Amino acid sequence: MIAGSRWIARGVATAALAMFIVLGLSTTHAAAPLSDAVVVNRGVVELETGRSNDISVRMAEEIASLLDDGATRRVVPVVGKGPLRNLTDLKYLRGLDLAIVPVDALDHAREQRYLPGLETSLTYIAKLYNEEFHLLARADIVKTGDLVGQIVNVDADGSSTALTATRLFNLLNLKVNIATDDQQVAIQKLRRGEIAAIAIVTAAPATFLQGIKAGDGLHLLDVPLTQAVVSAYTPAQLTASNYPGLVGTDRPADTIAVGRVLMAADLRNIPDRYRNIANFVDALFTRFEGLLGPGHHPKWQEVNIAAELPGWARHPAAQQWLQRNAQVASSAGPDALQVLFSRFIDERRQVSGNAPMSTAEKDALFQQFRAWQRGQAR
């Protein structure tokens, strides 16, 4: 009887052990997806861009290519629906960490009290590149005043171009009839004479404008650089080297540039996502020079990660990196510095009403500046 009891006990123990093993295996298999989810989401930041045809999509892809390491950091670009929608998403959309937005969208949001409290909830990581405003018109439209009462296409409603064009026309007190066709549709209407002009905000040179020939009956209009316009936007120029079929070699077309900025959501109360942004900032700033090499968009050459955005607070992680690396942040490569120097000369001469300086003159002046800079360093 005792032996029988022992066999029963052993049987129970064996069954219990078998059940334990089965349960253990089941638990292991059930936990595997959770483990995979943790790995996949490790270090992830979601970065919202402009619309699908915006160069911010490429810029976000290049950031992702530079920073993704397959283990601790991953950047997931998300195509947005327009600058004001991006700001709304950044403030309220679950999971969104960063967004590339135009500076004038921030100005507009503040002026119109769009999303009250935006200035205290969102922070910026860095000012990025500029995109130029193009005003492509029929041959019979020789100045912006000729557009009064005419149809001007500004891309889709809510787009970056629509926002900038509307603000600019208001600053110029220019009463036009707005159309919101797709730009490819609009350019065909422009060629047929159905509309007077197209407004386009994009990085110069825009590929689809470079194919326009001098005999096509289209040209780029000057944007009047009034005091109100210069106070709101950066003066810029479109040259024959950008668009040989649209701009004369003797005189560039005056226009404005719209800055882009990398903004961050308020994640102070979500520690893991806040750490992911800090990790992203550290990697982006530390490896930024990797975006300046061949194969990357030339607009990266315009970026100075230390540049400030007045009226907005910088993200603490970005501010701390700049403080730790003040010497690195303040130094720019000679090529990038010369681009900025050239832009500064162009803008100052436009504002003062002086004639443009030739490339050779600017190069000579820059070399004098570099010589002075080396003397100051010694």
| 321 and 348 within one domain | no
**Same domain flag for 25 and 77:** no
Closest CA to 88 of 99, 78, 75, 76: 99
Considering the domain architecture, whether residues 280 and 347 belong to the same structural domain is answered as no
If we measure between CA atoms, which residue out of 342, 338, 345, 346 comes closest to residue 370?
A: 338
Q: Which of 195, 229, 258 is the last residue of a domain?
A: 258
pLDDT digits (tens, 9 = 90+) for 254-304: 999 999 999 999 999 999 999 999 999 999 999 999 999 899 999 999 999
Per the structure, the complete domain to which residue 23 belongs is given by 1-40
Burial class (CB in 10 A: 0-12, 13-18, 19+), 264: buried
Place of tokens 């490429």: 58
Residues 136 and 162 in one domain: yes
Q: Are residue 51 and residue 124 in the same domain, yes or no?
A: yes
Which residue positions in the chain have pLDDT lower than 70? Answer: 1-36, 39, 327-337, 340, 343-344, 347-353, 370-378
Enter the pTM of the model.
0.78
- Same structural domain, 104 and 136: no
What is the reported pLDDT for 283? 94
The answer to whether 124 touches 262, Cβ cutoff 8 Å, is: yes
**325: which 2 tokens?**
């690396």
Beta bridge partners of 260: 102
For residues 323 and 356, membership in a common domain is answered with no
Maximum Cα interatomic distance, the chain, rounded to a whole number of Å = 114
- Nearest CA to 242 out of 218, 221, 217, 211 is that of 211
Same domain, 231 and 221: yes
How many other C-beta atoms lie within 10 A of the C-beta of residue 262?
A: 26
Residue 246 in contact with residue 217, Cβ under 8 Å? no
**Sequence-separated (6 or more) residues with CB below 8 Å from residue 312:** 106, 119, 122, 123, 124
pLDDT at 13: 41
Structure tokens at 162: 């629509």
Three-state secondary-structure class, residue 241: coil
Cα 162 from chain centre: 16
The pLDDT of residue 211 is 83
Q: pLDDT value at position 340?
A: 64
SS3 state at 236: strand
* Token couple for 232: 């709101």
Burial class (CB in 10 A: 0-12, 13-18, 19+), 7: exposed
| Residue that finishes a domain, picked among 199, 227, 258 | 258
Q: What is the pLDDT of residue 335?
A: 64
The domain boundary residue, chosen from 236, 258, 280: 258
pLDDT value, residue 331:
55
The pLDDT score that the predictor gives to residue 363 is 76
Cα separation, 315 vs 326, whole angstroms: 16
- Domain count for the chain, please give it: 4
Sign of the Cα pseudo-torsion (354, 360, 362, 364, in order)? negative
Report the pLDDT value the prediction gives residue 35, as an integer from 0 to 100. Answer: 59
Residue with the two structure tokens 């029963």: 8
Same domain, 23 and 93: no
Cis, peptide link before residue 205, omega less than 30° from 0 = yes
Say if residue 181 is in the same domain as residue 292.
no
Give pLDDT, residue 70: 78
52 and 197, same domain (yes or no): no
**pLDDT value of position 31:** 44
Quick count: other Cβ atoms within 10 Å of Cβ 306?
18
220 in helix, strand or coil? strand
| DSSP secondary structure code for residue 25 in this structure | H
Other residues' Cβ atoms within 10 Å of the Cβ of residue 304: 15
CATH code of the domain in which 212 resides: 3.40.190.10
CA distance 80 to 53: 11
